[in-house]
């Protein structure tokens, strides 16, 4: 039997991880459709954006998450 744990719960709208991912998508779309640069440069920019978003998401999930969303808590 698992031990019971009490955790803080917050809305998914307040999730730092969700916002990091959303900002990454918006930045990538803006880089593709908003910049007048060669396609190879756009690929490099989007790859850089996605690499940064991946590292930020990893860091937030590993070191910055102290709450769970209600849907996550319901699965436990």
Q: What is the pLDDT of residues 33-68, one digit of tens each?
A: 998 999 999 999 999 999 999 999 999 988 887 777
State the pTM of this model: 0.72
The SS3 call for residue 8 is strand
For the record, the structure tokens of 58 come out as 């990893």
Query: Quick one: residue 68, left, alpha or beta (phi over 0 = left, psi -120 to 50 = alpha)?
Result: beta
Distance separating alpha carbons of residues 14 and 16, to the nearest angstrom: 6
Please give the mean pLDDT across all residues of the chain: 87
Plot region of 6 (φ>0 → left; ψ -120 to 50 → alpha; else → beta): beta
């Amino acid at each position: 039997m698992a031990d019971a744990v009490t955790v803080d719960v917050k809305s998914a709208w307040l999730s730092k991880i969700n916002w990091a991912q959303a900002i990454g998508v918006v930045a990538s779309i803006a880089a593709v459709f908003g910049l007048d640069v060669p396609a190879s440069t756009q690929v490099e920019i989007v790859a850089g954006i996605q690499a940064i978003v991946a590292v930020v998401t990893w860091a937030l999930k590993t070191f910055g998450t102290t709450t769970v969303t209600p849907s996550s808590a319901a699965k436990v």
